Every structure is written in C-alpha cells, then in structure tokens.
Amino acid sequence: MSTGRAFKNKRTAFDSFFLHQGEEGLAAFEKGMEQVSNKLKEVYSNTEQPFIGKTPAEIEKEIAGIMNFAGKGRSLQEVLNELEGPILRNSLHISHEKSMAHLHCPPLLPGIIGECIIGTLNQSMDSWDQSTAATYVEEGMVKWLKEAAGYPETSDGVFTSGGTQSNYMGLLLARDSFCQIQWAHNVQKQGLPADFHRLRILCSEEAHFTVKKSASQLGLGEQAVITVKTDERHRMCLNDVLSTLDRLKEDGMLPFALVATCGTTDFGSIDPLPELASISKENGLWFHVDAAFGGGLLLSHSHRNKLEGLENADSMTIDFHKLFLQPVSCGAFMVKDRRHFGFLSHHADYLNPVKDEDDGIVNLVTKSTSTTRRFDALKLYLSLKTVGTETFGNMIDHTIELARYTAEYLTGLENIELKNIHPEINTIIFRYHPSDCSTDLDELNRALQQSLLHEGKGVIAKTTVDGSTFLKLTLLNPRTSEIDIHELMDEIEKTATQLMNGGLARV
C-alpha cells in the first residue's frame, strides 16, 4: 500500500509540466502564473492604441517567423519574450476604450481569472464523472438564467459555444418537434420526412445569418428561410409576417418556426416579442428568440422592460461573450419545455447509459449537440458574484446611456449622417457625408474605417445599410466615455479631410 508520503516523494521526468501534489509542479505553476501576469501587465501598461496598425501581411510574416517547433523545449519566460511582439502586441486590444467595432466585449477580470480556474480544473461537461461539481454549477447557472428570463419551472437549458450553436439547437428542436406532431415522424431515427422541402422558417431580413446557416445544416436548405420586411425601426413587420404566412400556406408550404431577433447585429433592434409570440401560437409555429445580443438587458436596471415577451419563447439564445462581458466563448441555449431535449439525446454506453439516468445521475451531454464541453459556467458565476448584479446592471446601463449621448452628439455634428437617432441598445450607425463631396461616399467611408484601424486611432466597423457603406460603433465597454467619443469623432473629421484632399491616395 502506498502512503501519501511515498507518493509525494515519487518523481517523474515530467513533473514541472503539470500541476500536482509534488513541489516541482506547484513551483512551476506559481512561477508561470507570475511570469505571464508580469508579461501581460507590461504589455497593457504601455498599450496606447487599440491596434498597432500593421498590415495583415506584416503580421502574418512575423507569426510565420515564430512557428518553429523543432528542437528542445525552452523556458516559458523565453517563449513569452519571443511571442510578446508578434502575438501580444499585434493583437487587437479589445479592452481599449476605442475598440468598438463588433459585438466583441472587453472581458471582465473575474471572467479572465475564471478562465484560469476552468483550464486548471479542465472538467468536461459531458458526463457527471468528468465534471463532478461543475455539472451542478452549470445547472445552477441555468436555473439563475431561467428565473432571470421569467421562464417556467418546466424549462431547461445548457451552455453552448455561442449564438451559432444555440440558434442551431433551437431550429433543430423546432424541426423535430414539428415533424413529430405533423407526421408522427422521428427525424432523429428516420432522417428527414418525404415532405421536408415544404418546411419553412420565418425571420426578419435583419436576422442573423446563422438562421440560414442552421437551415442548411439541418438539411432544409437556405431556401427554407423566408425573410420578412422590417419597419423604420428595423423590427419585424407584423403585417408582413401575417401576409407571408398566408402566402406560404396558399402555396402549400409548411411554416414551422418563427425566429425573432432581440438585438439585431447592426441596429440592436428588438422584434415585437409579445405579438410575435401570439402569432406563433395561433399558427402552430415554434417561437425561437435570438437574444444573443439583447439578452444582456436581463441585467439592466432601466431597460429590462424591452425584453417583455421573451418568456413566451419556445427556445432562446443568450450569449455571455457579448453584453455579459465574458471572455470568448460563453453562451446558453434555453428551452421552455425541457422534454424537447429528448430530440437530442443519445445514450452512449460509455458516457451516459440509461442506467445512470435511472440512478439520478446527471450527464449534460444528453442536452447538447457537443460532447466534450468547457466549464464556461464558472466564469459567469465568478463575474456575477464578484461584480454583483447591481454594478453589472450599472455597467450595461452606462453603455446604453453612452449610445444615447453619442447619437445626440453626432446629430449636432456637421458632415455626419446618423442612421439611428434613437439607438435601441448600444450600437451607432453613421457615415461621413460632407455636403459638397466629390468623392464616392462608399469609398470614402471604407477608407476612413481602414485608415483609423491602420493608424491605430480607433477600431470601428463598417456595414451596409440600404446598399450604402456605413460606419458602426458597438459600445460594449463600460469604461468608454463621452471624451473617447469626442476624440474619435475629431479623428474621423481629420482623417476624412486628409483622405479627400489626398484623393484617397493614402489608403
């Protein structure tokens, strides 16, 4: 029999590469964490710009220069020194106040620290015997989310890699549930039914592209997605939903799902959820709400009411790596009636045998399209606990307030055409549009965005609205202030003037 002491004295050639009971591993862990923390502090303490401004080719070349793995291993410090320039300094500094392009957030510190614990524990969420405590943490966070979203006791959920997976899961359950009801057909066992080409999904023309992508992956083809017009606030037109449904039925089609977007990617618009829920119910449609972006309003103090009707969704998508400020990746898929997860479950003898279920053992693989899965619930847990829901709400509200302020400020600026005077959440869509402009506006605005990026003055996005190029700010960073907005707009004015004088030659 081995004693603890004998185990402690046991040495292997690999001790400094793992965290374990032995002293070498513990020391290597402590030293490595200190070295990496010092390196990151060094980089962050002199990061003045959101991006270094190099070209893709320059960065690609620098990275290629460090991709050699032959020979002996080197010290962590040496490798950190080597990657500092090519990787750390060439990365987008997403936590910078002027990094405001996409729905890509500055991660909260407890989220970053959570990642460290997640990697260290390396639990896998598929079966209880690989995530003995983590299973219950994830289930607990799902319960919290259920309550926050106003979901009934019968509901359930699971963490996902993000909105893409959650939307896919929602439409998969919708498809399988419909086929079951319509034809007593089991898609899981029998594949698509004979009439699959008549199945239709409705969403707005501003819905996320993953609705189409899901339809294609579900064997229905993108043709199954029918897009409905949006109103002047970029929300799904109810009249158009009704007339589209009539038309589809007349044509012998089988609409089975309606996807509402709660926070569209460009305008952050929120489709009329209560009305769409009623229409879905009356027409036997599965009502999926893509709240990847807008779901963050669950924590808001002043804007929670915008989510009214969310609780009626048959399923919903919530991303935590957007407004919830978590490191990538972290999301959830929720379903109102947990029995629908049955369409996904498959019992593998080695992982989640039926016997386990009979014994009351929870194996989360039964609810997911993934098998091995990260313990992402922990970083959200840590963030909610340490930041507190009060401050969390204040952070989100600040970004919405800032968006309102920015819209007002931009309205008063010469040469700026603002597309959303009343931002729904925290995106701003505008373009540089001088009155006496001989330059092509699309070209000018594209060049502006590129120029700001390559000067490292601001990371903003470009998008297309009504066929024209517009610029976009996504204000997710609670540390971004009115001053940052003023500085950015001054920079835009300066850069645009230079571009117009230089005949755009600089880009």
Ligand X SMILES: *Cc1c(COP(=O)(O)O)cnc(C)c1O
Nearer to ligand X, 255 or 295 (CB): 295
103 touches ligand X by CB under 6 A:
yes
| Nearest CA-CA partner of 349 in 339, 357, 337 | 357
Instruction: Write down the least CB distance from residue 492 to ligand X, Å.
Output: 25
162 touches ligand X by CB under 6 A:
yes
Alpha-carbon distance of 432 to 186, in angstroms, equals 54
Interface segment toward ligand X; rule CB under 6 A; list 53-61, 112-120, 159-167, 247-255: 159-167
Tokens for 233, please give them: 């606030």
Nearer to ligand X, 254 or 330 (CB): 330
Task: Decide: 62 and 85 in contact? Cβ < 8 Å.
Answer: yes
Nearer to ligand X, 155 or 204 (CB): 204
Instruction: Write down the least CB distance from residue 210 to ligand X, Å.
Output: 5
> Of residues 319, 376, 397, 484, which one binds ligand X by CB under 6 A?
319
> Of residues 124, 204, 244, 265, which one binds ligand X by CB under 6 A?
265
Beta bridge partners of 204: 228
Instruction: Write down the least CB distance from residue 103 to ligand X, Å.
Output: 5
> Of residues 98, 146, 208, 288, which one binds ligand X by CB under 6 A?
208
Nearer to ligand X, 217 or 411 (CB): 217
Instruction: Write down the least CB distance from residue 329 to ligand X, Å.
Output: 7
CA-based angle 104:168:145, to the nearest 5? 65
Task: Decide: 272 and 238 in contact? Cβ < 8 Å.
Answer: yes
Instruction: Write down the least CB distance from residue 211 to ligand X, Å.
Output: 8
Alpha-carbon distance of 497 to 504, in angstroms, equals 10
Nearer to ligand X, 161 or 451 (CB): 161
What's the longest Cα–Cα distance across the chain? 88
Tokens for 1, please give them: 């029999």
- 324-353 residues in contact with ligand X (CB under 6 A) are 331
380 touches ligand X by CB under 6 A:
no
Alpha-carbon distance of 211 to 49, in angstroms, equals 36
Nearer to ligand X, 212 or 336 (CB): 212
Element spanning 428, H or E: strand 427-432
Q: Is 11 exposed, middle or buried (0-12, 13-18, 19+ CB in 10 A)?
A: exposed
Scanning 218-346, the segments in alpha helix (DSSP H) are: 238-250, 273-282
Nearer to ligand X, 214 or 445 (CB): 214
Instruction: Write down the least CB distance from residue 360 to ligand X, Å.
Output: 33
Nearer to ligand X, 81 or 372 (CB): 372
Tokens for 400, please give them: 């919405």
The answer for residues whose C-beta is within 8 angstroms of residue 427's C-beta and 6 or more apart is 266, 267, 268, 403, 420, 472, 473, 474, 475
261 touches ligand X by CB under 6 A:
yes
Residue by residue, DSSP assigns 337-395 as SGGGGGGT----TTT--HHHHHTT---GGGG-S-SS---THHHHHHHHHHH-HHHHHHH
> Of residues 127, 210, 214, 383, which one binds ligand X by CB under 6 A?
210
Instruction: Write down the least CB distance from residue 369 to ligand X, Å.
Output: 13
Nearer to ligand X, 215 or 448 (CB): 215
Residue at token pair 């700010």: 473
Instruction: Write down the least CB distance from residue 370 to ligand X, Å.
Output: 13
Nearer to ligand X, 292 or 499 (CB): 292
- 289-318 residues in contact with ligand X (CB under 6 A) are 290, 292-293
Tokens for 307, please give them: 């989510």
> Of residues 130, 155, 164, 427, which one binds ligand X by CB under 6 A?
164
387 touches ligand X by CB under 6 A:
no
141 touches ligand X by CB under 6 A:
no
Residue by residue, DSSP assigns 201-260 as EEEETTS-THHHHHHHHTTS-GGGEEEE-B-TTS-B-HHHHHHHHHHHHHTT-EEEEEEE
Total binding residues toward ligand X, as defined by CB under 6 A: 15
Q: What is the separation of C-alpha 96 from the centre of its chain, rounded to a whole number of angstroms? A: 19
What residues line the site for ligand X (CB under 6 A)?
Answer: 103, 162-164, 167, 208, 210, 261, 263, 265, 290, 292-293, 319, 331
